[in-house]
Structure 1
C-alpha cells in the first residue's frame, strides 16, 4: 500500500512540475544595436590641396604642403571620421620669388625654431567628430569638424567649420582651420613669450586652407 501511494505521489509530482525540459521558455529575440559599418574612402593626394598662411606685424607669408594619404570614414552620405597625413618635407613658400631668399626662409621654417622637419617629417589630423551646422546654406560651411592635430609630435584638439559631403563615391571636405602655433612648441617671435620685440613679432595664429578628396 505504501509503495502504491509513493508511486502515485511521484507521478503527480511529475505532472505538476514546470515543463522546463520538454517546453523551454522562448527567449526574447535580441535587438541589434550595431551601427552600419563605416566605409573607408582613400584620400587622393593628387586631387587634394593644403595651403598655409602666417602673418607678422609688418608682413606675412604663404605657401603649400602635400598630403601623402589617409582615409575618410563615411556612414551613409555623411563623413564621420578619418585621418589624413601631410608630408612636412614638401612644405613650400609661394610668395618669395627670389631663389636665395626663398631657400633661406624655408631653411628657417624647417629648423627647430619652427617645424623641426628633420625630426618630425609628418603631421597628421585625426577626425574625432563631425557636427552638422543647422540651417547652413547650400554653398556655405555645413559642419564643424573636431579632431586631433599633431605637429612636431605634439597633439592638440582643434575645431573648425568646413563644407563636407559625399556623392557618387567621392567624399570631400574643404575649409580653413586656425592653429595656435605656440601649442606645438613653435614660439619663435611670439609676443606671448618674448617681450619687447615690437614690430618683429610673428602672430601666434596661422591658418591652414584645405580641400581633401577621397574616393571609395
Structure 2
C-alpha cells in the first residue's frame, strides 16, 4: 500500500514538473526603443493577413482561456534573407475566444474587448484602442537556428520593448516569422482587470498577470 501511495505521488510530481516546463518564458521587457531602419537596397515584403495571426492564452485559478487576434497589415524589409526592419498592426476588434461556444464565447469576447455595458474599458478597451502594433527594433542570431527578435509592442496606448525567440524561414517569394510561445506581464500595458497585484481582496477571482502569446506572420515579396 505504501509503495502504491509513493508511486501515485511520484506520478503527480512528474506531471507537475512537465506542466511547469511547458510554461512559456516571459519576454524580456524594457522601455520602447527607436525602430530599426533599413537600407534602400533591402527587399520589401507585405504581410498576408489571412495566413497571419496571434494566438493568446490567459490564466486564472479555475482554468485557462485561449484564442486568436488577427493581423491587420504589415510590411517588412529583408536583406539577403536577414530580417532588417518591419511593422505590423494588430486588429484588437478581432479578439476571438476558441475554447468556449455560444453565449459564453460571446460574453467572454465582449468582456475582453471592453464593450460590455456597464464595464466599458475593461481589458483591451477596443472602442478607444482598436489597433495594437509591433515595430521591429533589432534582431540577433541565437542558438538552434533561431533569431532573438526585439520590438516595441503597443497595446492600449502603452508601448514597451519586448524580446523573444522566432524562427524565420524563406521559401520562394515568401517569408514566415514564427515566434516561440512567450509571455508578457499585461499590467505593464495598463491591462489591469482582475490583477491581484493591482487590486486587493480578489480572493481566488483574480486573473494571472502573465498572458501568453505566439505570433505567426507570413509575408510575400512586393
Give the TM-score band, short-chain normalised.
Answer: 0.7 to 0.9
TM-score, normalization by structure 2? 0.75
Paired position in structure 2 for 1:43: 47
Q: Is the 8 A contact 2:156 2:191 kept in 1?
A: no
1:78-97 alignment to 2 at 5 Å?
78-97=82-101
Paired position in structure 1 for 2:123: 114
Q: Does 1:153 align with 2:162?
A: no
Paired position in structure 1 for 2:215: 210
Q: Is the 8 A contact 1:72 1:171 kept in 2?
A: no
Higher Rg of the two aligned structures: 1
Aligned length: 177
1:105-139 deviation line (CA, Å, top 9, x unaligned): 112111112000011111110011111104x15xx
Moved more, 35-44 or 183-192: 35-44
Q: How far apart are 1:179 and its partner, in Å? A: 1.7
Q: Is the 8 A contact 1:50 1:208 kept in 2?
A: yes
Alignment partners' CA distance in 2, 1:87 and 1:36: 29
Change in 2 beyond 3 A, CA 1:171/1:197:
same
Q: Does 1:196 align with 2:205?
A: no
Moved more, 165-174 or 117-126: 165-174
TM-score, normalization by structure 1? 0.77
Moved more, 163-172 or 116-125: 163-172
1:67-146 alignment to 2 at 5 Å?
67-97=71-101, 99-111=102-114, 112-134=121-143, 136=144, 142-146=146-150
Moved more, 172-181 or 69-78: 172-181
Q: Is the 8 A contact 2:54 2:216 kept in 1?
A: yes
Residue 96 of structure 1 aligns to a residue in which SS? coil
Moved over 6 A (4+): none
Paired position in structure 1 for 2:176: 172
Q: Is the 8 A contact 2:138 2:150 kept in 1?
A: yes
Q: How far apart are 1:166 and its partner, in Å? A: 2.8
Alignment partners' CA distance in 1, 2:108 and 2:152: 28
Q: Identify which of structures 1 and 2 has the higher relative contact order when contacts are C-alpha pairs closer than 8 Å and 6+ apart.
A: 2
Q: How far apart are 1:42 and its partner, in Å? A: 0.3
Gaps of at least 5 residues in structure 2 are 1-37, 115-120
Aligned-CA RMSD value:
1.6
Q: How far apart are 1:35 and its partner, in Å? A: 5.4
